[in-house]
Every structure is written in C-alpha cells, then in structure tokens.
Amino acid sequence: FNTSNKVEDAFDFKGKEHVTWININGLYNTTEIEKLGKHYNLHPLVLEDIVTTNQRAKIEEYEDYLFIVFKMLHFKDDEEIVYEHMSLVVGENYLLTFQEADGDVFDDLRDRIRNSKGRIRNARADYLMYAILDAVVDNYFTVIEAEGDKIEDLEERLFLQETSTNEITSDIQKQKREILKIRRTVFPFREVVNKLEKSEWKYIDPRTNNYLRNLYDHMIQVNESIDLYREMIWGLMDLYMTNISNKMNEVMKVLTIIATIFIPLTFIAGIYGMNFENMPELHYEHGYIIVWAIMIIILIIMLIYFRKKKWI
C-alpha cells in the first residue's frame, strides 16, 4: 500500500499479481489523469466523463475495464450536503478512483486494508470495488437519515407552532428541494448497482456477486427511504395549511364571540342615549337597573349558545 503524488510511481505495480489501487484527489490536474488514461488505455469519452462533474450515475462496460460514475454525498461541517463527483475504473488487477475534492471518505477502508483484517487485503479488484461502493451507499444512508431527522424536527416545530410562519414555510420549501435533489442524485445509482449485479463481466468473481446483490438490496432501501421522506414532507405542507386554517378559525371565533356579545348590548345602550323628549323608560325609577338586567340576560343567552356550538 503506497501513497504518492505522482501517477507514474503507481505504474510499476501494474501487472503484478497484487491489485493496484490508484486514487486521484481533485480533477484539476488533467495532465495526470490523461497520463493515467493513456497508461491504462481508457476511451476518450471515459476521460471526458471523469472530469465532467455534472454527470448522472452510470455504468459502462468496455473491453478491458468497467467504468462507473456516481455522486458521493457527505456533510460539510455537519450542515450542508456536498455532492461529490466520483468515477471508478476497474480492470483485471487494478482499480482507479477519481474524487472531485480531497476527501477522507475512504480512510476507514484504507485502514482496513493496511491492517489486513477481513477479506479486503487479499481480495481481487472486483471485491475492492464492492467495498468502495458499499462505503458510498453507507454514506447515502447517513445523509438520508440526517434529512429524515430534519423532517421530523420540522414536524415537531409545526405541532408546537412556536416558529414564525414565514420562517417555517421557507424551511419546508428548502427541505423539499433538498430531498428532490438527493433523490435525483441517488436514484440512478440503483440502476448502476443493478446492472453491475446482472452483468456477466468477466472479471467479476461469482463470489463477489452475492455481495453485489446485498448492495443492491441496500440501494433499494435507500431509495425507499428517500420516497418515504418525500411523501412525509409533502404531508408537512398540508399539515401547515391545516394549522393556518385552524388558527384563522380560532381568530375568527374570538372576533365573533366578542362582536356578537357586545354589538347588541351597545345597540341597547345607544337606544337610551337618544335624546327624544318623550321616552317613558328614562323616567322609570328602576329603568337603569332593568336595562342592566336585560343586558346580562342577553349575555347569558349568548354564552349558552356559544357553549352549545362548542366555541368556548
């Protein structure tokens, strides 16, 4: 196991009985990639796909090697999701991986190779490929579960109704778009793994096929989780609309109760505020008390009515 910054150093290992794994970090040093492409006899379209980051996950079978492009998801600073373009070329006894950025996603894998535990160290290139893809799918799980947590957070905030309305709409909208973007990135990868499992490529060991089948099952699970969260987030928007309607209903009820009670009472007060010369009630000794009594009776009738309507 060697680490080097020059591609040529790696060429000596080719053809030996051990498997060579060359990992290129950063797609800017195109000259190195071209050298590598020449050395391993890669098709010009493959080289173009390696450096074009705006790519859909796909798998292509060439004479001497398999070529796989996909996106890797991980969190940057535990917040933002990074969509990293990756390519992978597997030949008989070599494996080339191209990462968009310097990353440490495969550190764990490298450690397992260094420490020679498990099947990794003595495995052939196809098993190594499986191990890398497995790590990628594990990352998918991590990212999606984190998104799921965010959605459940949003739902709880909706029930507590403690956030201002505009902020939460914007958060739901953002989350919705995030899920759509992840879905669009991750879904094609299922097809890649499926093709990989189904393909009868000569350098894939039948024993590795069991592992690929497993990988495919995981990808199905990933996609189902995404669709579940997608459905949940559409439900959130509905729930939010329901919340608004509920609140407006409550506002309306308060207004209606107050207005319905006091408008008639104010009318009665208005009647006896009139300045007609000839208003006999005004001269009754207990007129004022009687009016108060009438008002209180109206109030009580109103309250009973509202209670019956279950408004209070």
Give the footprint of its own copies on residues 153-172 (CB under 8 A).
155, 159, 161, 165-166, 169-170
Q: Which of residues 271 and 297 has its CB atom nearest to its own copies in the complex?
A: 271
Asked if residues 271 and 291 have their Cβ atoms less than 8 Å apart, the reply is: no
Which CB sits closer to its own copies, 25 or 120? 120
Q: Which is nearer to its own copies, 104 or 238 (CB)?
A: 238
Residue 113 Cβ vs its own copies, minimum distance, rounded to whole Å? 19
Query: Considering the complex, what minimum distance in angstroms separates the CB of residue 2 from its own copies?
Result: 30
Cβ-based nearer residue to its own copies, 21 or 130: 130
Range 223-282, binding its own copies (CB under 8 A): 224, 228, 231-232, 235, 237-256, 258-260, 262-267, 269-279, 281-282
Of the candidate spans 11-19, 99-107, 125-133, 215-223, the one that interacts with its own copies by CB under 8 A turns out to be 215-223
Minimum CB distance to its own copies, residue 139 (Å): 16
Nearer to its own copies by Cβ, of 116 and 245: the residue is 245
The residues facing 20 across adjacent strands are 94
Residue 296 touching its own copies (CB under 8 A):
no
Helices and strands, counts by H and E, the chain: 8, 5
- Least separation in angstroms between CB 54 and its own copies: 8
CB of 300 to its own copies, least distance (A): 16
From 35, 39, 43, 195, residue interacting with its own copies (rule: CB under 8 A): 43
Kindly list the strands in the beta sheet with 80-90, ordered across the sheet, starting from the edge strand earlier in the chain. 20-25, 94-99, 80-90, 66-76, 58-61
Interface positions, 185-214, toward its own copies (CB under 8 A): 188, 210-211, 213-214
Site for its own copies in 75-134 (CB under 8 A): none
Tell the smallest beta-carbon distance from residue 32 to its own copies (Å).
23
Q: Check if the beta carbon of residue 194 is closer than 8 Å to that of residue 217.
A: no
Instruction: Report in angstroms how near the CB of residue 105 gets to its own copies at its nearest.
Output: 22
The C-alpha atoms of residue 225 and residue 193 are separated, in whole angstroms, by: 17
**Gap between the Cα atoms of 139 and 84, Å rounded:** 12
Minimum distance from residue 134 beta carbon to its own copies (Å): 12
CA dist 190 and 201 (Å) reads 18
| The residue type at 231 | E
Residue 9 vs 167, nearer CB to its own copies: 167
- The residue count for binding its own copies (CB under 8 A) is 84
Which of 184, 192, 194 has the alpha carbon at shortest distance from 227?
A: 184
Closer CB to its own copies, residue 203 or residue 311? 311
Residue 1 or 276: the one with the smaller Cβ distance to its own copies is 276
Binding test (CB under 8 A) with its own copies, winner from 25, 32, 34, 58? 58
CB neighbour list of residue 247: distance below 8 Å, 6 or more residues apart? 161
Torsion region of 278: left, alpha or beta (phi above 0 gives left; psi -120 to 50 gives alpha): beta
| Assigned token pair, 182 | 């992840």
Interface residue with its own copies among 14, 38, 114, 177 (CB under 8 A) is 177
Distance CA 106, CA 72 (A): 11
Strands 94-99 and 20-25: what pairing? parallel
> Could you write out the DSSP letters of every residue in 118-172?
TTTTT--HHHHHHHHHHHHHHHHHHHHHHHHHHHHHHHHHHHHT-S-HHHHHHHH
